[in-house]
Structure 1
Amino acid sequence: MGLAKLLVADDHPLFRAAVLHALREGICLGQTLEVDSVSALTQALDEHPDVDLVLLDLAMPGARGFSSLVWLRGERPDIPVIVISSNDHPRVIRRAQQFGAAGFIPKSAPVETIRTAVSAVMAGDTCFPAQAAARSERDALLAARLARLTPQQFRVLMSVADGLLNKQIAYELGLAENTVKVHVTAILKKLECNSRTQAALLVKALEPEGESGLPGEY
């Protein structure tokens, strides 16, 4: 099985090197890319639209739990994503699956597991550990709501969750302030939220350990 272009997104250089070494031993790799933050991931995907697979750590700088996975699935739904995480709680595995990952690899997994997962996903299958928790309808609803957002709206939402004002968001994203206002209005409507605070709580629900969001609703 040949893999033309692989992107490894993890903020630990030794781990990235170990993963690439493991894969080169059993898979025909072409070009490989390494990034250590969400901003670097965004730039790499802009510069390399032909990436075949992303191995994604959930805890990179700039990420809020599953936010980078949700963003990536919205921005580039054609690229399969395998989450690699040191947090292999069954609920985390299930949430990764529900938020669009094609596979999940615990960082403690042996080399052969990594190769097997990558090979399976590149063949069009999925690969998740057997101990995944039961499906959550609340997560399914959250994923469906977030999927309504455009990639730019998702970026604005993340800035809203960081507590930035429209003027600050405009500066950070290189947008006109009025454009940000339009995005925020659309975001609240699509997420069925009445305020920026409610929208920020939805983002908080993307944290791996979060069970939640607003009680009884998303």
Structure 2
Amino acid sequence: MTHAPTFLIADDHPMFRSAVAHALGSEFDGASVREAASRSALEKMLEDGTEFDLMLLDLTMPGAIGFSSLLWLRSEYPDLPVLVISSNDRPRTVRRAQQFGAAGFVSKAAPVETLGKAVRHVMQGELWFEATSAERSERDAELMSRLAQLTPQQFRVLMLIAEGLLNKQIADRLGLAENTVKIHVTAVLSKLNCRSRTQAAVLVKTLDIDEEDDLE
């Protein structure tokens, strides 16, 4: 890479973002780093047209449920490599991150040197899943297939359904007409083969990070 890289850090902890930004600045001369503290801020930053070389994503941010942001990124920005950085480094979490399309995974407990190595590997088009055996889950593959059918707006509606919001509340949150939201909800339920909003919400919850992921 001949140009100075541009990074996007998505994490809701300011001190951690600052630490990662400092590490990236030390590793890459002239690097540009932008930050997002929530799912909505992440969307707005990507929509402004800036081209990023790498995204560093925390799985637990306001507006996100587990792997939902990762799946959304892989669907909407398939050419943007995503390096997941999480405090939950259990084997199943790492395996799911890889299966859901991440280019790498780094534990928040890892030393700065490991982060630097991971970033360089991913930016060279390689994967970085240190000492992890990735076992494919057919259940997760089927979940990815169902969610991939949704448009970006339908995905946003689904996430708000999962939060328990009613159509009027979703309309207010997204700046849409209530009838438009109703149409989106109907489409979401149909595409996901869900009979009710509750069933759709339960489906989204399966994207959450399982605290007992070593039991699978």
TM-score (norm 2): 0.91
Indicate whether 1:7 and 2:8 are aligned. Answer: yes
How far did 1:211 drift? 7.6
How far did 1:169 drift? 0.9
Structure-2 change in CA distance of 1:83 and 1:33 (3 Å): same
The amino acid that maps onto 1:155 is R
Q: Which moved more, 1:144-153 or 1:82-91?
A: 144-153
Helix, strand or coil: the match of 2:5?
strand
How far did 1:89 drift? 0.2
How far did 1:134 drift? 2.0
Structure 2 counterpart of 1:216:
none
Unaligned runs of 5+ in 2: none
Helix, strand or coil: the match of 1:104?
strand
Structure 2 counterpart of 1:189:
190
Moved over 3 A (4+): none
Alignment of 1:4-153 (within 5 A): 4-153=5-154
Helix, strand or coil: the match of 1:28?
coil
The amino acid that maps onto 1:119 is R
The amino acid that maps onto 1:114 is L
Distance (Å, rounded) in 1 between the aligned partners of 2:148 and 2:4? 28
Q: Is the 8 A contact 2:24 2:31 kept in 1?
A: no
How far did 1:4 drift? 2.6
Q: Is the 8 A contact 1:3 1:52 kept in 2?
A: no
1:168-214: per-residue Cα shift (whole Å, max 9, x none)?
Answer: 111110112221121111111211111111111111001011789xx
Unaligned runs of 5+ in 1: 213-218
Count of residues in correspondence between the two structures: 212
Distance (Å, rounded) in 1 between the aligned partners of 2:98 and 2:40? 23
Structure-2 change in CA distance of 1:143 and 1:93 (3 Å): same
Q: Is the 8 A contact 1:83 1:105 kept in 2?
A: yes
Distance (Å, rounded) in 2 between the aligned partners of 1:36 and 1:200? 24
How far did 1:29 drift? 4.4
Structure-2 change in CA distance of 1:3 and 1:183 (3 Å): farther
